[in-house]
Structure 1
Amino acid sequence: MIRMERGRRLRWIGWLLVGLAILASACLIALAAFPVGLFKDRIARHIGARFATNVSIGSIGRREVFSFTPTILIRDLAIRQPRWAGTGNMVQAQSVEVRISILSLMTGGGARPDDAVVRGLSLALVRDASGRANWERPKDGHGSDAQGTGLGRLLVPDGRLSLKDARRALSLSGTFASDGKGLRIDTAGRFHNAPASLAIRGASISGQRPDATYPIALKLQSPLLHLDASGQTRGPLNLRSMSLDIRATSPNLKYLDDVIEAGLFGTQPIDLHAKIRHAGRDWFVEHMTGRIGRSPLVAKADILKRDERTKIDADVHFSAFDFDDLSDAQGKARARAIEARIGPRVLPGTRINLAKVGPTDGVIRFRADRLLLTDSMFQSLAGTIRLTGKLLELDDIHANMSSGRMNGTVRIDQRGGATKPYFAMDLLFTDGRLEKLIGTQGATGALRGRVKLSGTGDTIREALGRADGHAGLVVRDGQVKRTLAAVLGQDLGKAIGTALRNKDAEIPLRCLAIDFAAKGGILTPSPFLVDTPISSGTGQGTMSLATERIALTIRGRSRDPSGLRLVDPIRMGGSFSAPTLSAAGDPHGSKVGAGSIIKAVGKSIGGALGLTKKRDMDDDATPMAVDCGSMERRILAARPPRS
């Protein structure tokens, strides 16, 4: 009995399994022959959701009567432009034949076409100035490195293509074809209102795997930019995952940046060759050579897009470097106009306003083996630029000079909505030589100094013209011509005697300590001291960083004075670019020559004879002894002077 009951159960289970198999087969047969026209509205909604716009389809059918991957025929397809992109259609086609997976469509995986034939195709691609593009998913500005079209075959015999890219200032239109001969795109239009043409060539898209390497070449030609690129993408037409070898020439680096969007700046003409890689929204410059203006370079860089910000990590090496190469023609013209208005200036007029700097962060390590500067002591330069939004820091500065080295930092800060940037520099000079600085062997010695200034302004010149801080130098244990030391002590008798006996005789220069206190761009000696075995001197007056004018007097005293003394102090005048000396009470800025020397002798003899007013040297504030070690520590520490 039990056996009979168990047998009936097994038979029922068997019949049930057979029934389920028959039902599954019937369902599969139904799916394989399913009338896909019923999915027309669903397919239209799916495409419309992809581009956030309306889609219309004239009709939809299938070629094969029975297939799980049928060829779907869509007629009169029109994908409207998103509202922000204007009127008209973004995509229009007379017919589209695509092979899709029915199972994927039924289970919500999408149509996933892997084979397409498109006739009467018209593409109208649009991107606005903010970077929003009609071919990207809404709220998907990051993009991806997905496998391009995902198509194994693409046939487009007669396509038309237009591109209006406000962000790149690029507008093009032309033909698009993909067949057994390969991919061909030929367009013409405008780039920054200059004529431009763009040609793209690729292999035939027929039978490739979605992730197969796909060779591609691009040529953009315009008076503003010649760009040749060749390489491969990961999957046909996958421009978000590609490796290219490029050559770019342009009158300005910013035109190349319009195409690659790396956040670069205006420069002198460029000629660059690079191997680059693009992944998603990120660019990787794996190796670059060429030149900007007169400056040859080798560089590499990672340029990443993260959280709507550009992040740069780069190394740049110039074998020779001209600072002017980092300014375009407009910037140099502005600089020339300013110089014509205010005259020659020593302090640079480099613009430092960061108001227009976009959401960019970065670290750029740079090195220039040789600086192409005229009449400059600076020979090489290296450092690290760190940019965090509107804060720029130049750290680890190392500069070799014709005499000595310079190290330090520079900081430009325009955060918090400031209308003008705050500029701060702290530079230490070591291993210098006094004779190199003054251009004569009359006084020699090892020189050290420090400049610590800060102010606000749109340019370095403007910021220093309002700066506070200190700038000083010190020389210890040097040598000075005995004649100059006598003149410093305003002892005309000793100066004449030394000149007659041995004009080349030298004595120790025990100390030269100059510490300028800066307030509102005005430099005031605090103090200006010179100490030798036979004389000492001190300087007074001002120097203006805003106007670059000099107004200093140097008074001295002799340790063992003779009867014949210089009545008037030595005066320094003129400008930073053209300094002058005057003596014997001549007008400020007059040159020291034979006439002024004769006049100085006459006034001194007159003072000795009581014929002219003689300055009381005993009341002179010039110190007879200088603590040079203390002065050196204060100057190099850039500390405020003691009150």
Structure 2
Amino acid sequence: MTPRARTLITRIAIGIGATLLVLILLLAMMPWGMFKGRAERALAERFDAPVTIGSIERTGWFSFNPMLDVRDLRIAQPRWAGDGAMVQVDHVAVRLPVLPILIGRVRPEPLAATNGRLVLIRAKDGRKNWDRRPERRSGGGGGLDSLMVRNLTLDYRDALKDRRAVLRVDSDDRGFRASGRGRLADEPIEIAIRGAPIAGSARWPFGAALIGTRTRIVAQGSTASPLDTRDMAFDLRARGNDLLDIDRVIEAGLFGTQPVAVAGRVSRKNDVWRIERLSGTIGRSRLSSAVATVDKGTERTKIDGTLRLAVLDFEDLANDRGRAIAAAKRAEAGPRIVPATRIDLSNLDDVDGVLKVKVDRLVSRYEEPFRKISATLTLDQARLTVDPFEVGMVRGVLGGRVVVDQRGGAAEPTLNLDLTLDGTTIGTLAGGGEIDATLRGMAKLTGTGETVRQAVGRSTGQVALVSGPGRIPSKLASFLGLDVGRGVFADEDAVASLRCLIVRMDVKDGTAQMNPLLVDTSRSQSRFSGTIDLATESLALSMMGSPKKDSILRLTKPVPIRGTIKGPEPRVPGEKTNVGGVLKMIGDAIAGDRPPLATDADCKGLAARAMG
């Protein structure tokens, strides 16, 4: 390089450096009030609403972090939110770091606000006047090095959750204070928030309480820096007459329950929430522990958690209104076996995750054979898989795999059941009774519906139950063989052997065809034909029975059985109930005009085919 070239480069470098120096000095001395109009336009574009500023004055003549005195700031409401101002403040002190402006970053830092009012509105459709860009997730406030507030009113109106609050906010050397009153639906509440002075970047301790006539929520913890709600941890205690009362505050999409009281530890790092040591009661149900991580950092919320309950009564998972509706439905539909549990996943179409659930003891005001539950729930793209799924009974286990699939925006979910029943007895399922025999079974069904009952009522597949050997009252065994004589005169305490009970139902579109239904005892054999409507659980069966020994009084025509699974109604043919019918049975016996006697069924082979 020639001396002339080096001289030229040196002059260019000096010129650039001098220009930058002059620019920096100009920024340090800039009379920022001249940019008031530009500031109004920038804020108006950001909030999509008219913005006016009375004046902007600089404090001091030279600084790389000049103080600006902004007076009479007013930001109007968006059109949908009505008239008036969203923000109206008499005086705002702002610090403006000027060096970042060189790289295109303008980041004013508010330091003080005096005599102002903020009106925050959320409409029924979810629009928020403080969040004009719904496609971006709003994550709460960031940290502040310092903030002094005097006589600031925060007016919050939420039509979506039906809640309202008006708070007076002050912050000075004595600390941060916000307090006021509001309501959650029809419940009046008082709100109080206290924190350390907003100064510096150290962890900021705070306490908050919401107290109502039904609801009480208390939080105590800290944020990474003052008012930095994206990095915080706190202990939470909550109580309400209904979990919906608490959900009006935390907005977790919860459901109605009996009175609830819970406590736990909550933390947040950016978009990841963590819940730990959660315990408490819902009605008479008792939550031992719960741990969960909720990640809202992407378009789909991800949940990973473990839930353990020492005691669970499913009726606690409905409030009084829900219980009344369920009771009315039970009264209208009558006793049912298949529950009306909702399985619609449309409200969870943007949630994925895994939840492990364990219930140590199930309780109910009804006689139920179920005692505990263990299950892993995996939700992926509107497809819920419960696998493994195991329900412990007084005796035996019901388990297998359950899948609820509502992918692709389906109007109704598809339910797939693949369940087995093992190690139990007929008496366990029946809640007692006189039959003592082992019982095992299986169910493979697929159907669509918003509830389990509706989906099973439209399902296709197979159901099987196999029982025996065991014991059965002799009187009942004789009647099953339509042996009226022995049934009437048998000893009440006499016992017969139940060789087997075989049930195989081929299900199509909610109609179950018996293939077969057979009861084989040491005294008789009965075969049932016909169908069961799984939508209503109504029976349309016909029973034909035969004794295994000669009988004087014997029915020889099929017995129709109507009613429901829970309440079967056998209907004995009319001609056998009068004197003439009885005399005819005796005459048939004397004349030898009677069907052949039953022989022992191939219980082992029938059981294998039924369960195959």
- Give the structure-1-normalised TM-score: 0.82
Is there any run of 5+ residues in structure 1 with no aligned partner, and where? Answer: 588-595, 638-643
Equivalence map 1:140-289=2 (5 Å)? 141-144=136-139, 148-206=141-199, 208-209=200-201, 212-223=202-213, 225-289=215-279
Note if 1:73 corresponds to 2:54: no
SS at structure 1 position matched to 2:65: coil
CA shift, 1:110, in A, is: 1.4
Equivalence map 1:5-20=2 (5 Å)? none
CA shift, 1:399, in A, is: 0.9
Distance change >3 Å, CA 609–CA 246, structure 1 → 2: same
CA shift, 1:431, in A, is: 0.7
Note if 1:336 corresponds to 2:327: yes
Note if 1:138 corresponds to 2:116: no
Q: Could you tell me whether the CA contact under 8 Å between 1:450 and 1:635 is conserved in 2?
A: no
CA shift, 1:534, in A, is: 5.6
In structure 2, C-alpha distance between the alignment counterparts of 1:131 and 1:377, rounded to whole Å = 45
In structure 2, C-alpha distance between the alignment counterparts of 1:520 and 1:40, rounded to whole Å = 72
CA shift, 1:380, in A, is: 1.0
The one-letter code of the counterpart of 2:89 is A
2:608 is aligned, of 620, 627, 633, to 633
1:616 is aligned, of 588, 594, 610, to 594
In structure 2, C-alpha distance between the alignment counterparts of 1:521 and 1:11, rounded to whole Å = 94
Equivalence map 1:490-639=2 (5 Å)? 490=482, 504=494, 507=497, 509-532=498-521, 535-550=524-539, 552-561=541-550, 565=554, 567=556, 574-579=563-568, 604-609=585-590, 616-618=594-596, 624-637=599-612
CA-atom RMSD, angstroms?
3.9
In structure 1, C-alpha distance between the alignment counterparts of 2:406 and 2:26, rounded to whole Å = 69
CA shift, 1:467, in A, is: 3.5
Q: Which residue matches 1:453? A: 445
Q: Which residue matches 1:327? A: 318
1:315 is aligned, of 294, 297, 306, to 306
Note if 1:404 corresponds to 2:404: no
Q: Deviations over 1:268-291 (max 9, x none)?
A: 221111211133344321221112
In structure 1, C-alpha distance between the alignment counterparts of 2:237 and 2:190, rounded to whole Å = 16
Note if 1:124 corresponds to 2:102: no
Larger displacement relative to structure 2 (596-605 or 292-301): 596-605
Distance change >3 Å, CA 99–CA 263, structure 1 → 2: same
Larger displacement relative to structure 2 (512-521 or 212-221): 512-521
Q: Could you tell me whether the CA contact under 8 Å between 1:293 and 1:325 is conserved in 2?
A: yes
Distance change >3 Å, CA 86–CA 238, structure 1 → 2: farther
Note if 1:426 corresponds to 2:418: yes
In structure 1, C-alpha distance between the alignment counterparts of 2:8 and 2:172, rounded to whole Å = 58
Q: Could you tell me whether the CA contact under 8 Å between 2:415 and 2:448 is conserved in 1?
A: yes
Q: Which has the larger radius of gyration?
A: 1
In structure 2, C-alpha distance between the alignment counterparts of 1:241 and 1:463, rounded to whole Å = 44
SS at structure 2 position matched to 1:109: coil
CA shift, 1:572, in A, is: 5.2
In structure 2, C-alpha distance between the alignment counterparts of 1:317 and 1:288, rounded to whole Å = 10
The one-letter code of the counterpart of 1:63 is T
SS at structure 2 position matched to 1:263: coil
In structure 1, C-alpha distance between the alignment counterparts of 2:552 and 2:107, rounded to whole Å = 109
Q: Which residue matches 2:33? A: 37
- Give the structure-2-normalised TM-score: 0.86
In structure 2, C-alpha distance between the alignment counterparts of 1:375 and 1:241, rounded to whole Å = 49
Distance change >3 Å, CA 31–CA 636, structure 1 → 2: same
In structure 2, C-alpha distance between the alignment counterparts of 1:332 and 1:546, rounded to whole Å = 22
SS at structure 1 position matched to 2:257: coil
In structure 2, C-alpha distance between the alignment counterparts of 1:472 and 1:483, rounded to whole Å = 26
In structure 2, C-alpha distance between the alignment counterparts of 1:456 and 1:597, rounded to whole Å = 48
Q: Could you tell me whether the CA contact under 8 Å between 1:568 and 1:585 is conserved in 2?
A: no
**Count of residues paired in the alignment:** 609
Q: Could you tell me whether the CA contact under 8 Å between 1:95 and 1:118 is conserved in 2?
A: yes
2:105 is aligned, of 91, 109, 115, to 109
Is there any run of 5+ residues in structure 2 with no aligned partner, and where? Answer: none
CA shift, 1:536, in A, is: 3.1
CA shift, 1:476, in A, is: 4.0
Distance change >3 Å, CA 353–CA 411, structure 1 → 2: same
Q: Which residue matches 2:352? A: 361
Q: Could you tell me whether the CA contact under 8 Å between 1:318 and 1:369 is conserved in 2?
A: yes
Q: Deviations over 1:528-565 (max 9, x none)?
A: 22334564332234444344344544433344535664
